[in-house]
Amino acid sequence: MKDRMRQRVLIANRGEIAVRAIRSCRSLGLESIAVYSTADQSAPHAWLADQAFCIGPPPSRQSYLSMDALLHVARESKCQLVYPGYGFLAENAEFAERCSKEGLIFVGPSPENIQEMGDKACARVAAKKFGVPIVPGSPGTFTDAVEALAAADDIGFPLLLKASAGGGGRGMRVVEDRSQFSMLFNQASQEAREAFGNPAVYLERYFPAVRHIEVQIFGDAHGTVRHLGERDCTTQRRHQKLVEESPSPVLTDKERAGVLEAAVKLAAGVKYQGAGTVEFIFDEGSREFFFIEMNTRIQVEHPVTEMCIGHDLIIEQLRVAMGEGLSIPKESDWPGGHAIEFRINAEDPVHDFRPSPGRVHHWRPPQGAGIRVDSFVYKGIDIQPFYDSMIAKLIVHGADRESALERARSALDAFEIDGPATSRSFHRALIDDPDFVASKIHTRWVENTFLQRFTDEGR
């Protein structure tokens, strides 16, 4: 293996994950090369890295999504690796392929893995091939509402429309009955085209009240694939995750073993390399789980896994990309316990989570045992309106869920933020709600139940 001290990594991202990647590079003795838009010239990742280059104006498509600009910087700065993080080009097979053609190591799965598993319809085929249960749905994708309607009638209503090429809730619609189908299909397809450049949509049976369970997996170039436990991401609003925790508070040991085994079986079957997440829905009524998709990147919520296994997953991504074998501790050596992550967004939860960009006048994150804050924010920074609204991740860890929640209450109370409206008050109210405390929730619980209580109390 080449001397790490001679290796340079292009950090093809911004915000919290860019800051984190720079620090992980430093831990491994790697040099970091940052990129920034003109809106981010004062952002921490632009001055924490060993070098930094401006790649364009604020709009993402002219900067962080510009493959030509990113690859130009990589060539000019003599990088050997490209770290995409999450979002932007992290799950773009074309970008991974172009990196490879430039002689660059893309820190992530192969273009083939991204292509197969990043396409939800193809991923369903792979899951079925390897014996992983899938949600009943259409055998392929559609771009025409009339053709899709025949498949919809076979599946039955209600059903879920999902963009084949993306995630994050974009290109997704719930169709309650046949009369709504064409209108909602066209909306989903158009949104998918705009967000991912691909209008293809596939159909799934819709479960109105399920849990969202995902399994962190890692594979290396030597054929080893391991799971790193599961995360429960049921607390969502409009398909966007708000809170994640590990382990899931609702799975039995037998159910957990089944989900973990299914995730490893799928990842091993497709010869997956790098970090990935296999996602399932879990129906508490029938106690059944079904594969829904795979994310071929590191997830925003990976820190809850890190807290429970005692290992840095960004460092592991870099090591695996350089050809090293997995170095994750044995499961018997994991710290265990319970971890919860809260996404602190620059949004106003009282007013329908309206984006709230602006200057941060005061910033004092909580500290203490079992408390971690991943962020890029400092006093005086301007939160930009051009990008994702997440400004920090608060992660707490305790011996069990009860102690983790108690620690979260103290941490959220101590979190001082003045400037943009944030979701801190939402999270503080959430963890006192009796349904949340008792884990009696589902993926639509926030929208259908909790937000009414939250606004009624005038938070």
- Tokens representing 330 are 């044995």
- Indicate which residue of 98, 173, 211, 297 is catalytic: 297
Q: How many CB atoms lie within 10 A of CB 342?
A: 27
DSSP 23-57: HHHHHHT-EEEEEEEGGGTTSHHHHHSSEEEEEE-
Determine contact, residues 246/347, Cβ cutoff 8 Å.
Answer: no
Tokens 């209108």 -> residue: 183
Task: Give which of 367, 290, 314, 269 is closest to 133, Cα–Cα.
Answer: 290
Residue 33 phi/psi, 5-degree rounding, is -120, 115
β-strand pairing of 8-11 with 81-83: parallel
Give the 3-state secondary structure of residue 257. Answer: helix
Give the 3-state secondary structure of residue 112. Answer: helix
Helix axes 111-118, 120-129, angle to 10 degrees: 90
DSSP 316-373: HHHHHHTTPPP-PPPGGGS--SEEEEEEEESEEGGGTTEE--EE-SEEE---STTEEE
AA identity, residue 345: N
> Alpha-carbon distance 124 to 116, whole Å?
10
Tokens 């399932």 -> residue: 280
Cis omega (within 30 of 0) on the bond before 199?
A: no
Q: Where are the alpha helices (DSSP H) in 197-301?
A: 253-269
CA atoms within 13 A on the CB side of 404: 25
Q: Give Cβ neighbours of residue 419 (< 8 Å, ≥ 6 apart).
A: 358, 359, 360, 361, 362, 383
Is 297 annotated as catalytic?
A: yes
Determine contact, residues 394/342, Cβ cutoff 8 Å.
Answer: yes
Q: How many CB atoms lie within 10 A of CB 440?
A: 13
Catalytic sites, residue numbers: 297
